[in-house]
A = this chain, B = another copy of it.
Amino acid sequence: MSVAAQTPIAFAKPQSGLPDLHITIRKLESLGDLSAEERNAFLDLLEKPQRFAAGSDIVADGSLPTESTALISGFACRYKLFSGGRRQIMSLQFGGDITDIHSYVLKKMDHAVGALTDCVIARMPHDKVRKATERFPNLAYIMWRDTLVESAIFRLWLAGVGRKSALSRGAHFFCEQFMRMEAVGLTNGNSATLGVTQTDISDCLGLSLVHTNRVLQELRGMRLIELKSKTLTITDWAELNASASLILRTSNSGARKK
Protein backbone atom coordinates (compact mmCIF):
# COMPACT_ATOMS: atom_id res chain seq x y z
CA MET A 1 0.00 0.00 0.00
CA SER A 2 2.96 2.26 0.43
CA VAL A 3 4.42 2.32 -3.06
CA ALA A 4 2.35 4.01 -5.74
CA ALA A 5 2.22 1.57 -8.62
CA GLN A 6 0.35 3.76 -11.00
CA THR A 7 -0.15 2.32 -14.44
CA PRO A 8 -1.46 5.06 -16.71
CA ILE A 9 -2.12 2.75 -19.59
CA ALA A 10 -2.76 4.57 -22.82
CA PHE A 11 -6.11 3.15 -23.76
CA ALA A 12 -5.71 3.65 -27.48
CA LYS A 13 -7.64 0.47 -27.94
CA PRO A 14 -11.42 0.68 -27.77
CA GLN A 15 -13.31 0.50 -24.49
CA SER A 16 -12.93 -3.27 -24.56
CA GLY A 17 -13.17 -4.63 -21.05
CA LEU A 18 -13.31 -1.14 -19.61
CA PRO A 19 -16.12 -0.59 -17.14
CA ASP A 20 -18.70 1.99 -17.95
CA LEU A 21 -18.03 5.53 -16.82
CA HIS A 22 -21.75 6.03 -16.41
CA ILE A 23 -21.60 4.42 -13.02
CA THR A 24 -20.48 7.84 -11.75
CA ILE A 25 -23.73 9.28 -13.07
CA ARG A 26 -25.73 6.58 -11.31
CA LYS A 27 -23.98 7.55 -8.13
CA LEU A 28 -24.65 11.28 -8.52
CA GLU A 29 -28.27 10.68 -9.44
CA SER A 30 -28.74 8.72 -6.26
CA LEU A 31 -28.02 12.06 -4.54
CA GLY A 32 -30.12 14.42 -6.61
CA ASP A 33 -31.59 15.07 -10.04
CA LEU A 34 -29.35 15.99 -12.92
CA SER A 35 -30.34 17.58 -16.23
CA ALA A 36 -29.02 16.03 -19.43
CA GLU A 37 -26.70 19.02 -19.74
CA GLU A 38 -25.33 18.51 -16.26
CA ARG A 39 -24.78 14.83 -16.90
CA ASN A 40 -22.76 15.60 -19.97
CA ALA A 41 -20.84 18.34 -18.21
CA PHE A 42 -19.87 15.89 -15.51
CA LEU A 43 -18.84 13.16 -17.94
CA ASP A 44 -16.71 15.73 -19.73
CA LEU A 45 -14.75 16.22 -16.52
CA LEU A 46 -13.52 12.65 -16.58
CA GLU A 47 -10.21 12.04 -18.23
CA LYS A 48 -8.99 8.85 -19.80
CA PRO A 49 -9.29 5.95 -17.34
CA GLN A 50 -6.20 4.56 -15.65
CA ARG A 51 -5.54 1.28 -13.95
CA PHE A 52 -4.09 0.93 -10.47
CA ALA A 53 -2.74 -2.30 -9.11
CA ALA A 54 -4.06 -3.70 -5.84
CA GLY A 55 -1.94 -2.45 -2.97
CA SER A 56 -0.92 0.83 -4.58
CA ASP A 57 -1.93 4.30 -3.49
CA ILE A 58 -4.33 6.19 -5.73
CA VAL A 59 -3.87 9.36 -3.69
CA ALA A 60 -1.02 9.69 -1.22
CA ASP A 61 -1.38 10.97 2.34
CA GLY A 62 -0.17 14.54 2.61
CA SER A 63 -0.16 15.16 -1.14
CA LEU A 64 -1.60 18.24 -2.84
CA PRO A 65 -3.55 16.83 -5.77
CA THR A 66 -4.49 19.02 -8.72
CA GLU A 67 -7.16 16.55 -9.78
CA SER A 68 -9.95 14.71 -8.07
CA THR A 69 -10.59 11.07 -8.80
CA ALA A 70 -13.65 9.01 -9.65
CA LEU A 71 -13.49 5.29 -9.01
CA ILE A 72 -14.91 3.37 -11.94
CA SER A 73 -14.36 -0.22 -10.89
CA GLY A 74 -12.59 -2.15 -8.18
CA PHE A 75 -12.38 -1.50 -4.44
CA ALA A 76 -10.42 1.24 -2.75
CA CYS A 77 -10.37 2.72 0.73
CA ARG A 78 -9.56 5.87 2.60
CA TYR A 79 -7.03 4.96 5.23
CA LYS A 80 -4.55 6.29 7.70
CA LEU A 81 -1.34 4.46 8.52
CA PHE A 82 0.20 4.60 11.97
CA SER A 83 3.58 3.76 13.38
CA GLY A 84 4.04 0.04 13.66
CA GLY A 85 2.10 -0.58 10.46
CA ARG A 86 -1.29 -0.21 12.09
CA ARG A 87 -3.95 0.90 9.68
CA GLN A 88 -7.42 2.29 10.13
CA ILE A 89 -9.67 2.28 7.10
CA MET A 90 -12.14 5.16 7.21
CA SER A 91 -14.30 4.16 4.28
CA LEU A 92 -14.64 1.63 1.53
CA GLN A 93 -15.03 2.94 -1.98
CA PHE A 94 -16.24 1.30 -5.15
CA GLY A 95 -17.69 2.07 -8.56
CA GLY A 96 -19.10 5.58 -8.81
CA ASP A 97 -17.50 6.93 -5.66
CA ILE A 98 -15.58 10.15 -5.99
CA THR A 99 -12.58 9.46 -3.83
CA ASP A 100 -11.34 12.96 -3.22
CA ILE A 101 -13.38 16.01 -3.94
CA HIS A 102 -11.76 16.98 -0.67
CA SER A 103 -8.60 17.81 -2.49
CA TYR A 104 -10.55 20.27 -4.64
CA VAL A 105 -11.69 22.22 -1.61
CA LEU A 106 -9.14 21.44 1.10
CA LYS A 107 -6.03 21.19 -1.11
CA LYS A 108 -4.02 18.88 1.13
CA MET A 109 -4.85 15.23 1.75
CA ASP A 110 -5.14 14.29 5.41
CA HIS A 111 -5.27 10.58 4.57
CA ALA A 112 -4.46 8.26 1.71
CA VAL A 113 -6.67 6.48 -0.79
CA GLY A 114 -5.43 3.02 -1.57
CA ALA A 115 -6.48 0.37 -4.06
CA LEU A 116 -7.57 -2.79 -2.25
CA THR A 117 -8.10 -4.62 -5.53
CA ASP A 118 -7.07 -3.71 -9.05
CA CYS A 119 -8.94 -0.52 -9.84
CA VAL A 120 -9.90 1.62 -12.78
CA ILE A 121 -10.15 5.33 -12.03
CA ALA A 122 -10.82 8.53 -13.97
CA ARG A 123 -9.18 11.78 -12.96
CA MET A 124 -11.04 15.11 -12.85
CA PRO A 125 -8.74 18.16 -13.08
CA HIS A 126 -9.60 20.77 -10.50
CA ASP A 127 -9.73 23.63 -12.98
CA LYS A 128 -12.27 21.78 -15.08
CA VAL A 129 -14.25 21.04 -11.92
CA ARG A 130 -14.27 24.72 -11.06
CA LYS A 131 -15.51 25.73 -14.49
CA ALA A 132 -18.22 23.09 -14.47
CA THR A 133 -19.49 23.99 -11.02
CA GLU A 134 -19.54 27.69 -11.90
CA ARG A 135 -21.61 26.93 -14.97
CA PHE A 136 -23.81 24.37 -13.17
CA PRO A 137 -24.18 25.28 -9.50
CA ASN A 138 -26.38 22.25 -9.08
CA LEU A 139 -23.36 20.06 -9.74
CA ALA A 140 -21.49 21.74 -6.92
CA TYR A 141 -24.51 21.33 -4.69
CA ILE A 142 -24.73 17.61 -5.45
CA MET A 143 -21.04 17.13 -4.81
CA TRP A 144 -21.41 18.98 -1.54
CA ARG A 145 -24.26 16.61 -0.76
CA ASP A 146 -22.01 13.71 -1.57
CA THR A 147 -19.35 14.86 0.88
CA LEU A 148 -21.99 15.39 3.56
CA VAL A 149 -23.41 11.91 3.09
CA GLU A 150 -19.92 10.53 3.46
CA SER A 151 -19.49 12.64 6.54
CA ALA A 152 -22.65 11.09 7.98
CA ILE A 153 -21.18 7.65 7.31
CA PHE A 154 -18.02 8.63 9.17
CA ARG A 155 -20.17 9.60 12.13
CA LEU A 156 -21.91 6.23 12.04
CA TRP A 157 -18.62 4.38 11.94
CA LEU A 158 -17.27 6.52 14.73
CA ALA A 159 -20.30 5.81 16.88
CA GLY A 160 -20.00 2.12 16.10
CA VAL A 161 -16.31 1.81 16.86
CA GLY A 162 -16.77 3.86 20.00
CA ARG A 163 -19.85 2.23 21.47
CA LYS A 164 -20.86 -0.98 19.73
CA SER A 165 -19.78 -4.57 20.11
CA ALA A 166 -17.67 -6.24 17.47
CA LEU A 167 -20.65 -8.25 16.25
CA SER A 168 -22.84 -5.18 15.82
CA ARG A 169 -20.13 -3.39 13.94
CA GLY A 170 -19.70 -6.32 11.61
CA ALA A 171 -23.43 -6.52 10.94
CA HIS A 172 -23.58 -2.81 10.31
CA PHE A 173 -20.64 -2.98 7.95
CA PHE A 174 -22.25 -5.54 5.68
CA CYS A 175 -25.60 -3.75 5.72
CA GLU A 176 -23.99 -0.52 4.74
CA GLN A 177 -21.78 -1.85 1.98
CA PHE A 178 -24.61 -3.83 0.47
CA MET A 179 -26.97 -0.87 0.44
CA ARG A 180 -24.39 1.44 -1.05
CA MET A 181 -23.53 -1.10 -3.74
CA GLU A 182 -27.19 -1.60 -4.49
CA ALA A 183 -27.60 2.13 -5.09
CA VAL A 184 -25.19 1.97 -8.02
CA GLY A 185 -26.32 -1.38 -9.36
CA LEU A 186 -23.40 -3.47 -8.14
CA THR A 187 -25.61 -6.10 -6.49
CA ASN A 188 -27.37 -9.10 -7.88
CA GLY A 189 -30.41 -10.06 -5.85
CA ASN A 190 -29.17 -10.65 -2.31
CA SER A 191 -25.58 -11.06 -3.43
CA ALA A 192 -22.71 -8.78 -4.28
CA THR A 193 -19.04 -9.12 -5.01
CA LEU A 194 -17.11 -7.63 -2.11
CA GLY A 195 -13.52 -7.80 -3.24
CA VAL A 196 -11.84 -7.24 0.09
CA THR A 197 -9.99 -9.52 2.48
CA GLN A 198 -10.78 -10.15 6.13
CA THR A 199 -7.65 -8.18 6.88
CA ASP A 200 -9.20 -5.17 5.13
CA ILE A 201 -12.45 -5.66 6.99
CA SER A 202 -10.63 -5.79 10.30
CA ASP A 203 -9.05 -2.43 9.54
CA CYS A 204 -12.49 -1.05 8.73
CA LEU A 205 -13.95 -2.27 12.00
CA GLY A 206 -11.00 -1.36 14.18
CA LEU A 207 -10.64 -5.00 15.24
CA SER A 208 -7.85 -7.54 15.07
CA LEU A 209 -7.83 -9.95 12.18
CA VAL A 210 -8.42 -12.91 14.46
CA HIS A 211 -11.43 -11.39 16.14
CA THR A 212 -12.86 -10.24 12.82
CA ASN A 213 -12.69 -13.81 11.63
CA ARG A 214 -14.62 -14.94 14.68
CA VAL A 215 -17.25 -12.28 14.16
CA LEU A 216 -17.72 -13.43 10.57
CA GLN A 217 -18.13 -16.97 11.71
CA GLU A 218 -20.73 -15.91 14.20
CA LEU A 219 -22.66 -13.95 11.56
CA ARG A 220 -22.52 -17.00 9.33
CA GLY A 221 -23.56 -19.24 12.17
CA MET A 222 -26.56 -17.02 12.82
CA ARG A 223 -27.46 -17.44 9.14
CA LEU A 224 -27.40 -13.70 8.56
CA ILE A 225 -24.80 -13.59 5.82
CA GLU A 226 -22.72 -15.83 3.64
CA LEU A 227 -19.28 -14.74 2.56
CA LYS A 228 -16.95 -16.87 0.58
CA SER A 229 -14.59 -16.28 -2.31
CA LYS A 230 -15.43 -12.57 -2.29
CA THR A 231 -19.16 -13.11 -2.67
CA LEU A 232 -21.33 -11.58 0.00
CA THR A 233 -24.90 -12.80 0.34
CA ILE A 234 -27.34 -11.29 2.80
CA THR A 235 -29.33 -14.26 4.03
CA ASP A 236 -31.52 -12.56 6.58
CA TRP A 237 -31.76 -8.86 6.05
CA ALA A 238 -34.10 -8.09 8.92
CA GLU A 239 -32.05 -9.94 11.50
CA LEU A 240 -28.79 -8.52 10.18
CA ASN A 241 -30.21 -5.06 10.53
CA ALA A 242 -31.39 -5.82 14.03
CA SER A 243 -27.97 -7.12 15.04
CA ALA A 244 -26.37 -3.99 13.67
CA SER A 245 -28.18 -1.77 16.12
CA LEU A 246 -27.84 -4.07 19.08
CA ILE A 247 -25.26 -2.81 21.50
CA LEU A 248 -23.78 -5.79 23.16
CA ARG A 249 -20.80 -3.97 24.45
CA THR A 250 -21.44 -2.67 27.92
CA SER A 251 -20.27 0.74 28.94
CA ASN A 252 -21.12 3.04 31.79
CA SER A 253 -21.26 5.91 29.39
CA GLY A 254 -22.29 9.22 30.79
CA ALA A 255 -25.42 9.86 28.81
CA ARG A 256 -27.93 11.04 31.31
CA LYS A 257 -30.37 8.28 32.07
CA LYS A 258 -33.22 10.62 32.76
Rounded to whole angstroms, the CA-CA distance of A82 and B160 in the bound complex is: 10
Q: Which of A182-190, A197-205, A228-236 binds B? A: A197-205
Contacts of A256 in B (CB 8 A): 1-2, 55, 85
Which of B2, B102, B110, B206 is A163 in contact with, Cβ under 8 Å?
B206
Contacts of A247 in B (CB 8 A): 82-84, 86
A147 at the interface (CB under 8 A from B): yes
Which of B81, B148, B158, B253 is A158 in contact with, Cβ under 8 Å?
B158
Rounded to whole angstroms, the CA-CA distance of A33 and B146 in the bound complex is: 25
For the residues of A in contact with B, the DSSP-based class is: helix
Q: Interface size on A (CB < 8 Å)?
A: 64
Q: Which 9 A-B pairs have the closest CB atoms?
A: A199-B254, A162-B206, A87-B255, A154-B154, A88-B159, A151-B151, A88-B162, A80-B159, A88-B163
Those of A123-148 within 8 Å (CB) of chain B = 134, 137, 140-141, 144-145, 147-148
B149 touches A151 (CB 8 A): no
Task: Give 16 CB contacts A-B under 8 Å.
Answer: A79-B255, A82-B163, A82-B164, A82-B245, A88-B158, A88-B159, A88-B163, A110-B152, A140-B144, A144-B144, A157-B158, A161-B161, A162-B206, A197-B254, A208-B251, A209-B254
Rounded to whole angstroms, the CA-CA distance of A251 and B81 in the bound complex is: 13
Contacts of A238 in B (CB 8 A): none
Min C-beta distance of A116 to chain B, whole Å? 10
A253 touches B161 (CB 8 A): no
A252 at the interface (CB under 8 A from B): yes
- Closest residue on chain B to residue A109 by CB atoms: B152
Min C-beta distance of A24 to chain B, whole Å? 20
Contacts of A1 in B (CB 8 A): 255-256
Contacts of A197 in B (CB 8 A): 254
Rounded to whole angstroms, the CA-CA distance of A1 and B111 in the bound complex is: 34
B161 touches A162 (CB 8 A): yes
Contact with B along A18-42 (1 / 0, CB 8 A): 0000000000000000000000000
Contacts of A258 in B (CB 8 A): 2
A141 touches B105 (CB 8 A): yes
Contact with B along A170-201 (1 / 0, CB 8 A): 00000000000000000000000000011110
